[in-house]
């Protein structure tokens, strides 16, 4: 199966790992991530819906996928959040959709975006398209005995009315993923609380206290490692806490599928 892939800025730079592991693992699982040509930065955050310009890069990606009848997949939580929210706006706000489509069609001779692209986070792709049971079958190096704490943060789950990934207060997708890799998920309640986000730039002490609250809670339940899908979460947790390692979920997946070294050497 082929999908349109939106890597995003950070995955081309500071979070290259996240990208490389994701691509290699997808191949093994029978999915080809076709990188969107000339994709543009999503903007990092979804802003007020009275702004059209900040939605256009997402809209372009959505339409790229529509033209190919492919789902649109991203790995970064922030990109996924912006793409998904833009898609929701295009589907549910006709006035906005008309306005935004005008921008697009005036420059490019193609049909307006009709709201039909399915937007998946890579985790959803694994759960809903590949299937966690299928992944479990492909695991050659099960992470048996490892106690891993998933960190959802904010962007995967909220706003729930749009994201619809999982129960926003008691999600299980990450835990099920960890189980599929043969490891033991650590369920802890701070897994959907904020790490401090972009405010880390102006107020590093603040994100330190937020990140520590998350990791300390995970450690109190016996976690040996925290996994995340978001480069900014990883940065905040890595920089501010030093008790247990923080890794990308795709790295764990590569490890379990037995291709981590290949990726690291690539």
Partner 1 sequence: MQRIGVFVCWCGSNIAGTVDVQAVSDALRNEPGVVFSTNYQYMCSQAGQDIIIQAVKEHNLTGIVVCSCSPRMHEATFRKTAAAAGLNPYMVEIANIREQCSWVHKDMASGTEKAIILGKAAVAKVNLNAPLTPGETPVTKRALVIGGGIAGIQTALDIADAGFPVDIVEKNPTIGGKMAQLDKTFPTLDCAACILTPKMVDVAQNDNIRIFSYSEVEDIKGFVGNFDVKIRKKARFVKEDICTGCGLCTEKCPVRKVPNEFNLGMDNRRAIYIPFAQAVPKVATIDPDACNMLKSGKCGVCSKVCTAGAIDYKQQDEILDEKYGAIVVATGFNPISMDKFDEYAYNQSKDVITSLEFERLTNAAGPTQGKLLRPSDLKHPHTIVFVQCVGSRCASCAEKGKEYCSKICCMYTAKHAMLIRDKYPDTEVYVFYIDVRTPGKNFDEFYRRAVEEYGVKYIKGMVGKVVPEGDKLKVQASDLIAGKQLHIDADLVVLAAAIEPDKSARPLATMLTASMDTNDFFTEAHPKLRPVESPTAGVFLSGACQGPKDIPETVSQASAAAAKVIGLLVKDKLTGNPCVASANEMMCNGCSTCERVCPYGAITYIDKEFRMPDRTVATRRVAQVNPAVCQGCGACTVACMSGAMDLRGFMSSQIIAEVDAICK
Partner 2 sequence: MHNDNRKIADEIILRSGVNPRKCMKCGKCTATCPAFDRMEYHPHQFVYMVETGDIEPLLESKSLYTCLSCFACVDRCPRGVEPAKLVEGVRNAVIRQQGKNHMTADDVPGKLDSDLPQQAIVSAFRKYTK
Judged by the rule CB under 8 A, the positions of this chain that interact with partner 1 are 161, 167, 169-170, 187-190, 193, 216-217, 220
The entry of partner 2, partner 1, none near residue 190 (CB within 5 to 8 angstroms by kind) is partner 1
Rule CB under 8 A: choose which of 50, 133, 137, 140 binds partner 2.
50
Cβ-Cβ contacts under 8 Å for 209 (sequence gap 6 or more)? 196
The helix (H) or strand (E) run that includes residue 62 is helix 56-67
The interface with partner 2 within residues 123-152 (CB under 8 A) comprises none
Closest to 163 in 3D by CA, of 35, 67, 52, 46: 46
Choose between 91 and 141: whose C-beta lies nearer to partner 2. Answer: 91
Across the chain, which distance is largest between two alpha carbons, in Å? 57
User: Does residue 49 bind partner 2 (CB under 8 A)?
Assistant: yes
Closest to 88 in 3D by CA, of 127, 126, 55: 55
Transcribe 132-184 into DSSP letters: HHHHHHH-SS--TT-EEEEE-TTTTTSSHHHH-SS-SSS--HHHHHHHHTT-E
Place of tokens 């399915």: 118
User: Does residue 83 bind partner 2 (CB under 8 A)?
Assistant: no
Q: Is 8:41 a contact under the CB 8 Å cutoff?
A: yes
User: Does residue 193 bind partner 2 (CB under 8 A)?
Assistant: yes
Options 32-40, 99-107, 156-164, 253-261: segment touching partner 2 (CB under 8 A): 156-164
The entry of partner 2, partner 1, none near residue 69 (CB within 5 to 8 angstroms by kind) is none
The entry of partner 2, partner 1, none near residue 122 (CB within 5 to 8 angstroms by kind) is none
User: Does residue 199 bind partner 2 (CB under 8 A)?
Assistant: yes
Q: Which two tokens stand for residue 16?
A: 């290259």
Summarize as ranges the residues that interact with partner 2 (CB under 8 A): 8-10, 13-15, 41, 43-45, 47-50, 54, 76, 78, 154, 157-160, 168-169, 193-194, 196-203, 206, 210, 231-232, 234-235, 238-239
């Amino acid at each position: 199966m082929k999908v349109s892939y939106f890597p995003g800025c950070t995955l081309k730079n500071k979070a290259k790992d996240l990208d490389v592991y994701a691509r290699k693992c997808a191949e093994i699982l029978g999915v080809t991530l076709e990188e969107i040509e000339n994709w543009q930065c999503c903007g990092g955050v979804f802003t007020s819906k009275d702004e059209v310009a900040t939605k256009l890069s997402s809209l372009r990606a959505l339409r790229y996928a529509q033209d190919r009848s492919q789902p649109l997949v991203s790995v970064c939580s922030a990109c996924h959040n912006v793409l998904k929210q833009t898609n929701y706006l295009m589907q549910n706000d006709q006035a906005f959709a008309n306005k935004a489509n005008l921008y697009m069609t005036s420059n490019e001779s193609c049909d307006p975006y009709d709201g039909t692209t399915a937007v998946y986070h890579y985790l959803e792709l694994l759960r809903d398209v590949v299937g966690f049971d299928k992944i479990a079958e492909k695991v050659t190096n099960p992470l048996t005995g490892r106690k891993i704490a998933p960190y959802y943060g904010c962007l995967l789950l909220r706003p729930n009315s749009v994201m619809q990934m999982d129960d926003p207060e008691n999600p299980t997708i990450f835990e099920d993923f960890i189980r599929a890799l043969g490891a033991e998920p650590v369920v802890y309640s701070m897994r959907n609380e904020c790490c401090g986000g972009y405010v880390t730039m102006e107020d590093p002490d603040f994100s330190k206290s937020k990140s520590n609250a998350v990791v300390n809670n995970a450690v109190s339940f016996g976690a040996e490692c925290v996994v995340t899908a978001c480069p900014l979460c990883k940065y905040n947790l890595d920089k501010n806490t030093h008790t247990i390692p923080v890794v990308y979920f795709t790295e764990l997946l590569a490890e379990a599928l037995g291709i981590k070294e290949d990726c690291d050497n690539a």
